[in-house]
Structures are given as C-alpha cells and as structure tokens.
Amino acid sequence: MLLLNLDKASRVPFYRQICERVVQLVDEGALAPGDRLPPTRSLAATLGVHRSTVLSAYAELWALGYLESRSGSYSTVRRRAPPLAAREVSGDAAPAATAPAAVRWEAIVTPAARRARDDAVRLKEERGARDGLIDFARLAADPDLAPHEELRRSLKAALVRRGGELLDYGDPRGYLPLREALARRMRAHGIAVSADEVVITNGAQQGLDLVARVLARPGDGVVLESPTYSLALSLFRLHGLTARTIPMRPDGMDLDVLAKVLARRRPALVYTVPNFHNPTGITTSQAHRERLLALCETHRVPLVEDGFEEEMKYFGKAVLPIKSMDARGSVLYLGTFSKVVFPGLRVGWIAAPRACVEHLVAVQRFSSLAGNTLAQAAAAQFCSSGAYEAYLRRVHRVYRKRMQTMLQSLRDALPAGVEWTRPAGGYTLWLRLPASKPDERTLVERCLRAGVKVVPGSQFFPRPPDLPHLRLSIACVTEGEIVEGCARLARALAAKSGA
C-alpha cells in the first residue's frame, strides 16, 4: 500500500505532491521495479482528491520514466538506471563516490581553464561582512543609493510596451533602442558613433573578453598600465596573453616607456583606464590622451579605452574620452552601467570602428546568440526617461562629499611617509606606504583586526612591486564610517611589527 499524505495547505499542487512522493519512494527503494501502483480510482478515493489529479500524477511519473503502464492494466514501477537513483544528494555534502571517475578532468582541462581556476583560488577573498567592519574594499555603486523604484518602473514600462519582443531572441548586437540611447549619451561626451558602431555586452568584463577574443591570439603581448584593474589581468592571463607593463606616473601611464615598448614589437592591443583609474584613481589630462592616441595610431595598435566610470566625475573640468578624438578609427571604447548604477543588470557596451564591429558581433553571436533583451530594454528606458540623469545628479553630491571626507581624514589621521592620490571622481584612492612598513599581507590583516577592510595593492600588479600599496574605496561607506575607518587605518599602520 502506498503511504501518501497530501499537504492540503501547501501551494504545491496535489498531483505534484503525489508525483514527488512516488519519486522519493522509488529513489529510496521503498518501491521496487515491477511494483504495482494502486489504481487511479482507489488512490483518488483514499486521498480524497479528484481522479483526474491522480491521472495527472501518473502521467507525469510516466513521462519522467518512473512508471510503465500498459493500457488497460496496472501502472508498475519501471526499471531505472540503478547507480544514481540511490545516490545521496544534498545541497552541500559531496555525494559519495559511486564508481571510479572515468574522465581525468584535472589532466584534460585547457591551460586557459587551469590558469583561470588558479587565479580564482588566488583572488578568493573572505566575504564575511563582520559586524562593525568598515568596508574600504568594495568597488561598486552603493546599494543604499540605488534607484530601485525607477528601475522597477523602467522594467515594467519596457514589458508593457514591448513584452513579446523582449522575450524573443534578441539581436546579437544588442537591443536597438538601447544602442541608440547609448550613442546619444556618448555623443554628449564628444564620442560621435552611431547605433551601428555599438555592441551590447554582458557588462564591461564580457566586453573585454570579446575584444580579447577578436584581437589577441595566445602568446600575444598586451600593453597594460601597472598597476591596473586586477580582473583585466586575470582575463588576459585566461587568454594566455603576455602582459607588457607600463608604469603609472602621477599623470597616467609613462608614455616615454610606451613609445619604446611599441617601437620594439606590435602588441595585440593597449589597454588603458583614463578616468579614475582602478586602482590609483588617476585621471589623465587631455594632452596625455592625445599623445597616447597618437602613439597607438603611429604603431597601428588598437587602443582599448575602459570608460567604466565615465559619468562619475565630481571635481574639476571634464576631460573628453580618448574615443572622442578617434578620427582614424583606432579606439575600442568599453562602457558599463555596473560601476555607476546596477552591477546585477549586467549591461555594458563596446563602441568600435565598423570594421571591428562585425567581428565582435559574429563572435558574440556564436558564443552566446544574444544578450538579455529584458535587462537591455530596462536600461534603455532608464536612460531615456531621464531617471539616469536624475540619479547621477543625486549620487554625485553624495560621492563628492565622501571623497572630500576621505581626503581630509587621511590628512588628519595618517602618519608621515604615507602617500596617496587625489582622485577627481570615481571611488578609489591609492596609498603608497614607506619601505619601513611590514609587507602588505600583514598590513591588510592588521587593518582587518582594527576593523577596516582594504585591498592589498599587489593584486593590481602583474609582478609584485617594491613597496606595499593599499587600495581604498569610498563606494559603500558613509562619511561617519570614513572618518572612523581612517582612524582605524592609522592605528593599524602605526602598530609595531608583530602587534
């Protein structure tokens, strides 16, 4: 007899409950192959449900391969592949090994995958947000400032106006109204591109991945600032590329060194973050940008401009993106909403010369068909409704104050010998510590003990630097937390070795 209790209060339909219970009984071995199930009519009577409910459950079980039924006869339990049916599965525990592995995964994965896995292990950070810990590490727009309501409205408006279209396969280039909205926005930054020269990506990281797939073969050199965005380093390593590093000076990458590097051998690309450079916070001048572009043009090298926080300038004059001067079609511009508004929306873009766009789109198409049109339509609506502008004006005031507070607090609290940058926008500042201080790892741990989380500078360098550095971010801390965080930082830096 089948032991079955229906939970009449549950939202799970009865037929589904019957189905799940039978699956469980079979998997546990309580029902064996060949066992008969009760006739639908009598089970329905026992359970006090309509017979059609039991029929649905049996039909489902049959579709799942749990039952055999010969018409006009009993339903019986079907013989299923035995080893896995009995296997224990839980959310966390590794299932007990049932048989020796056939494929030697460790041995056969590609070098690229192995490098990525090793990097993932190296960059693993303790996520534990301890109570009272002040977070100078996090680099993403403050969720407390996020325009949730406006995004919800944008999503709703997009669904109402274009429902069906948004749930169908999208264009591999991205949703046209968004490409148009972005072309308009970029135009306001002096970048003259049409919607046809824009490719929507799954965030700027996937944009950079696409660029690497189109421009760089394993073994190629890529020119990078040193330090630079740590996940760009990981991405280029994943692709098997060799980093040719150009030291950062207070005004941006050292262009004299770049000139020499470019003269030696043509790299696959030059990667630069001209605004609020991650990690240093440096913004380069118009003159620096002009010379950088001229160097790339001379050597016919694509320049990848990561404009990830283009909209986040709080102090001083705006400097136009390098792409705005790109009369000879050498610049690939990467943009994203992730660092400014919603990281989880995963909407970024590439503005590129036409001759490059067709390759980007073809690789995009065959590697993922298309992006998420729904998110793209919400972003388009968010831009064109004016909500994005309004949001930017609101958060600029907040972040400007935070940055001012951070700069003042560092001046007030830190000991002599520590140097730091004075960013014109964005979220990050960069501290250089004197050689007399202990190593970074120790410093970061002391900071954690003092109750402030910072990022060790070494992860931004392809090769370990001589002096210890720390990256601080104002993204997700209040002014009060900034003052207190700097005091804690100062205590951690002042502590005697071994303390």
- Window 178 to 237, contacts with a second copy (CB under 8 A): 180, 183, 187-196, 202-203, 205-206, 209, 213-217, 231, 234-235
Of the candidate residues 29, 34, 111, 247, the single one contacting a second copy (CB under 8 A): 111
Of the candidate residues 199, 334, 356, 431, the single one contacting a second copy (CB under 8 A): 356
Q: Is 438 a binder of a second copy (CB under 8 A)? A: no
We find the least distance from the C-beta atom of residue 486 to a second copy, in angstroms, to be: 26
Site string for a second copy, 63-102 (x = CB under 8 A): xxx--x-----------xx-xxx-x-xxxxxxx--xxxxx
Q: Is 379 a binder of a second copy (CB under 8 A)? A: no
Task: Please report, as residue ranges, which positions from 276 to 315 form the binding site for a second copy (by CB under 8 A).
Answer: 290, 296-298, 300-302, 313
Of the candidate residues 8, 41, 50, 117, the single one contacting a second copy (CB under 8 A): 117
Q: Which is nearer to a second copy, 191 or 450 (CB)?
A: 191
Q: Which is nearer to a second copy, 66 or 136 (CB)?
A: 66
Quote the CA–CA distance of 373 and 171 in Å, as a whole number: 8
45 Cβ contact list (under 8 Å, min separation 6) = none
Among the listed ranges 35-43, 110-118, 257-265, 277-285, the one in contact with a second copy (CB under 8 A) is 110-118
We find the least distance from the C-beta atom of residue 450 to a second copy, in angstroms, to be: 26
Q: Is 143 a binder of a second copy (CB under 8 A)? A: yes
We find the least distance from the C-beta atom of residue 14 to a second copy, in angstroms, to be: 11
Q: Is 32 a binder of a second copy (CB under 8 A)? A: no
Q: Is 34 a binder of a second copy (CB under 8 A)? A: no
We find the least distance from the C-beta atom of residue 458 to a second copy, in angstroms, to be: 18
Task: Please report, as residue ranges, which positions from 236 to 265 form the binding site for a second copy (by CB under 8 A).
Answer: 238
User: Rg of the chain's alpha carbons, rounded to an integer?
Assistant: 29
Q: Is 481 a binder of a second copy (CB under 8 A)? A: no
Dihedral, CA atoms, 439, 441, 444, 449, nearest 10 degrees? -110
Q: Is 142 a binder of a second copy (CB under 8 A)? A: no
Of the candidate residues 30, 45, 287, 369, the single one contacting a second copy (CB under 8 A): 369
Residue type, 85: A
Of the candidate residues 3, 7, 11, 48, the single one contacting a second copy (CB under 8 A): 11
Among the listed ranges 369-377, 430-438, 462-470, 491-499, the one in contact with a second copy (CB under 8 A) is 369-377
Among the listed ranges 35-43, 241-249, 346-354, 452-460, the one in contact with a second copy (CB under 8 A) is 346-354
We find the least distance from the C-beta atom of residue 496 to a second copy, in angstroms, to be: 37
> Distance from CA of residue 381 to its chain's centroid?
22
Q: Which is nearer to a second copy, 282 or 360 (CB)?
A: 360
Q: Which is nearer to a second copy, 130 or 300 (CB)?
A: 300
Task: Please report, as residue ranges, which positions from 309 to 328 form the binding site for a second copy (by CB under 8 A).
Answer: 313, 317-320, 324-328
Q: Is 120 a binder of a second copy (CB under 8 A)? A: yes
